[in-house]
């Protein structure tokens, strides 16, 4: 199986910049907009996408993205009404804005290296990585847009999650997603991870399509700052509440449960939201929700970077950060199902799969924080997740 498929199944896959309250409005219903199923809400995904691709006349403009789209511009124009095109353009837009937002925090002028790759079986991706920056020790923002036929291992895994897929059949699929992990240099700035993805599988016997969305955003601090946690969770809750007031509580618990480092008896961080197999209430409404969550990433995180990137710290704080990064690595390599699936598959593209790992980490034998210390305070919250809003 190719590495690009692995990345999509893992959701090495939507972020947007820290938006102001005034969004760009659709100015024309002609040309490129004719194919879109337009939303009536002023903060619609269509508005967001249109702010990137509005060109002269009917021709889309892709110069605001980090690279050319994976799908050819001619094909995208013919599929503007389909979710495959909508998802690709949305994740390309959020990739570009998040990369620009992160670069703006690098006072030394560090920028992302852009690696656009093509998958011979269909599709490809764009990997953006910034390393050894003044603010970010390692930051990765990846998208993948791939298609082909599902291998039997993937069908079996999806059937185990309740998908009604024919075992042993060759099933055409499409997957698009964005995934990002940001490892800051200063221990007072937390690490953030998020991914948002769309998947569809076609049954060639009757042309029926099964589709679903998944994703989430979670925070991993090295030192506990309760106001930071409250800000982060409140921002995500506000995004969820715009679509379904039951989402935040349900998806927060799902996040706490998923990012559980079982052998350590603790969570990877202070959580956030996590969901999978979302196929209600409709495709367009689910897409709007995923886009909303993506738009919430920067306002949930960038203020924390600005607040703490110049905080003072010493050798002890750096060593604790490296130890906590070790726990991050443990979860990714031992429990994360996407990482495991990728690493044990022949032909995997390891550089992209392991993008989520920090440049440096540390393990000490039987390490335990001193009772009453700031390190012990964080550990207690990781062992006993709490409600932040």
Determine the angle formed by the axes of helices 226-241 and 297-308, rounding to 10 degrees: 160
Neighbours of 252 (CB within 10 A): 24
Q: Output b/e per residue, 166-203; b: 16+ Cβ within 10 A.
A: eeeeebbbbbbbbbbbbbbbbbbbbbbbbbbbbbbbbe
Maximum Cα interatomic distance, the chain, rounded to a whole number of Å:
66
Of the residues 149, 183, 193, 233, only one is catalytic, namely: 193
Q: What is the DSSP letter of 275?
A: E
Q: Which residues contact 387 (CB under 8 A, 6 or more apart)?
A: 252
- Is residue 260 flagged as an active site residue? no
Q: Give the distance, in angstroms, between the CA of residue 10 and the centroid of all CA atoms in the same chain.
A: 10
Q: CA–CA separation, 125 vs 180, rounded Å?
A: 13
State phi, psi for 6 to the nearest 5 degrees.
-60, -45
| Four-residue CA torsion sign, 357, 363, 367, 370 | negative
Query: Do residues 120 and 4 lie in contact, with contact meaning Cβ atoms separated by under 8 Å?
Result: no
Query: Do residues 70 and 126 lie in contact, with contact meaning Cβ atoms separated by under 8 Å?
Result: yes
Task: Kindly report whether the peptide bond that precedes residue 318 is cis, defined as omega within 30 degrees of 0.
Answer: no
Query: Do residues 68 and 269 lie in contact, with contact meaning Cβ atoms separated by under 8 Å?
Result: no
Cα–Cα distances in Å, from 335 out to 29, 104, 267, 324?
47, 34, 12, 16
Q: Which residues contact 270 (CB under 8 A, 6 or more apart)?
A: 218, 219, 220, 221, 224, 229, 232, 381, 382, 385, 388
Q: What is the DSSP letter of 203?
A: -
Query: Looking at the annotation, which residues are catalytic?
Result: 193
């Amino acid at each position: 199986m190719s590495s690009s498929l692995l990345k999509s199944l893992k959701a090495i896959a939507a972020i947007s910049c820290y938006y102001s309250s005034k969004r760009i409005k659709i100015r024309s219903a002609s040309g490129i907009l004719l194919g879109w199923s337009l939303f009536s809400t002023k903060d619609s995904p269509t508005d967001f996408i249109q702010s990137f691709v509005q060109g002269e006349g009917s021709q889309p403009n892709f110069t605001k993205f980090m690279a050319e789209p994976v799908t050819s511009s001619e094909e995208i124009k013919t599929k503007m009404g389909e979710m495959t095109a909508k998802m690709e353009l949305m994740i390309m837009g959020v990739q570009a804005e998040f990369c620009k937002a992160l670069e703006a925090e690098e006072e030394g002028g560090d920028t992302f290296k852009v690696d656009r790759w093509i998958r011979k079986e269909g599709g490809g991706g764009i990997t953006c990585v910034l390393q050894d920056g003044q603010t970010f020790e390692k930051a990765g923002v990846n998208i993948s847009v791939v298609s082909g036929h599902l291998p039997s291992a993937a069908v079996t895994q999806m059937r185990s999650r309740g998908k009604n897929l024919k075992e042993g059949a060759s099933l055409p699929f499409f997957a698009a997603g964005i995934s990002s992990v940001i490892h800051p240099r200063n221990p007072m700035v937390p690490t953030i991870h998020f991914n948002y993805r769309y998947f569809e599988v076609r049954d060639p016997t009757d042309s029926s399509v099964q589709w679903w969305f998944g994703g989430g955003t979670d925070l991993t601090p090295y030192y506990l700052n309760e106001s930071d946690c409250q800000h982060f969770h409140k921002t995500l809750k506000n995004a969820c509440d715009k679509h379904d007031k039951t989402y935040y509580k349900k998806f927060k618990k799902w996040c706490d449960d998923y990012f559980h480092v079982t052998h350590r008896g603790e969570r990877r961080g202070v959580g956030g939201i996590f969901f999978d197999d979302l196929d209600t209430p409709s495709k367009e409404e689910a897409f709007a929700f995923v886009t909303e969550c993506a738009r919430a990433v920067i306002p949930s995180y960038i203020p924390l970077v600005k607040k703490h990137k110049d905080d003072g710290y010493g050798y002890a704080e750096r060593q604790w950060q490296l130890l906590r990064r070790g726990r991050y690595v443990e979860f990714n390599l031992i429990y994360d199902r996407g990482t495991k699936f990728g690493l044990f598959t022949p032909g995997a593209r390891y550089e992209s799969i392991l993008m989520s790992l920090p440049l440096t980490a540390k393990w000490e034998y039987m390490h335990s924080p001193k009772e009453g210390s700031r390190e012990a305070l964080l550990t207690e919250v990781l062992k006993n997740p709490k409600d932040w809003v």
